[in-house]
């Protein structure tokens, strides 16, 4: 067996990082930065468009298409330790069906209580800025 100390160092480093953050990685390091959760079946198409809009802006966004209740979707996203959760219901869907950046979202940040109202444009800018700075804060 050939031993490669470099690979061992990488594995140890990753295990220390995972243990240090307890799986709740900072926004810039998290593999899933944003979870988009539709309230009902009728919100699914708009949620898909939002996910696509977020991904085109460079964010790592996922969409929960499970059809579960919103409470269960939020609980699952929190279990996965997603930094930002966007619940998409009747209030959040744009009038014309297209996401332009001016729409108001209710953002639920990991570790914070309640929702923070924020424009989509401002949300994308905030996530991009925290990612660029490699901020450890949410």
Please tell me the pTM assigned to this model. Answer: 0.86
Indicate the helix (H) or strand (E) that contains 104.
strand 104-109
* pLDDT for position 38: 95
The average confidence (pLDDT) of the chain is: 90
Contact 36, 64 (CB under 8 A): yes
What domains does the chain contain, in order, with CATH numbers? Answer: 24-133 (3.40.50.800)
Distance, in Å, from the CA atom of 4 to the CA atom of 22, rounded to the nearest integer, reads: 27
58: which DSSP letter?
T
Is residue 42 helix, strand or coil? helix
* pLDDT for position 1: 52
pLDDT tens digits for 18-35? 899 998 999 999 999 999
Distance, in Å, from the CA atom of 87 to the CA atom of 74, rounded to the nearest integer, reads: 8
Distance, in Å, from the CA atom of 100 to the CA atom of 1, rounded to the nearest integer, reads: 57
């Amino acid at each position: 067996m050939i031993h490669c100390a470099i690979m061992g160092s990488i594995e140890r480093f990753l295990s220390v990082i995972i243990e240090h953050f307890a799986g709740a990685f900072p926004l810039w390091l998290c593999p899933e930065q944003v979870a988009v959760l539709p309230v009902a079946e009728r919100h699914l198409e708009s949620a898909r468009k939002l996910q696509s809009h977020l991904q085109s802006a460079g964010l790592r966004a996922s969409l929960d298409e499970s059809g579960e209740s919103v409470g269960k979707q939020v609980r699952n996203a929190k279990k996965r330790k997603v930094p930002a959760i966007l619940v998409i219901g009747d209030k959040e869907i744009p009038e014309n069906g297209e996401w332009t950046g001016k729409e108001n979202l209710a953002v639920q940040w990991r570790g914070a209580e309640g929702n923070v109202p924020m424009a989509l444009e401002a949300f994308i800018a905030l996530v991009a800025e925290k990612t660029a700075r490699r901020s450890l804060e949410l």
